[in-house]
Amino acid sequence: MTLTPKDALLQYHLAERLKLDIMMIAHQFVTIPSLKKEEKAGAKTILIALTDVLASDCEAAAKMTGADEFNQAAAVLLAVIGLAESNQFGLASDKSGEAMTPITTVAAGAFAVLHEHGLI
């Protein structure tokens, strides 16, 4: 599929925003073990909820743009939730990073189109 500059701009914007959100989630998972015992359950619940929202954002981006890579990232994030639910926070953080690969692919393709048209 050939991207128009307008489509490339939308894909690039969504991809960059999602990459930042994924990095934030990945970092937060590794902080849970250092929390006080009474704080861990609440932090876990909130991070799982945020990861679920992030997966939904990826799915919405796929619908808006037609880029299936966003769906691939959503699937990875759903796996992250499973790891977090079983208190495997280090693995959840590492797995979150795997969601970056398909999203980076979208961003790179969109960037190339924007660069080609002198927009970046």
- In tens digits, the chain (120 residues) has pLDDT values of 688 999 999 999 999 999 999 999 999 999 999 999 999 999 999 999 999 999 999 999 999 999 999 999 999 999 999 999 999 999 999 999 999 999 999 999 999 999 999 988
CA distance 69 to 53: 17
CA distance 5 to 74: 25
Distances (CA, A) of 29 to 13, 42, 43, 117: 25, 12, 9, 39
Residue 1's pLDDT is: 62
Amino acid making up residue 74:
A
Structure tokens given for 12: 């690039």
**pTM of structure:** 0.92
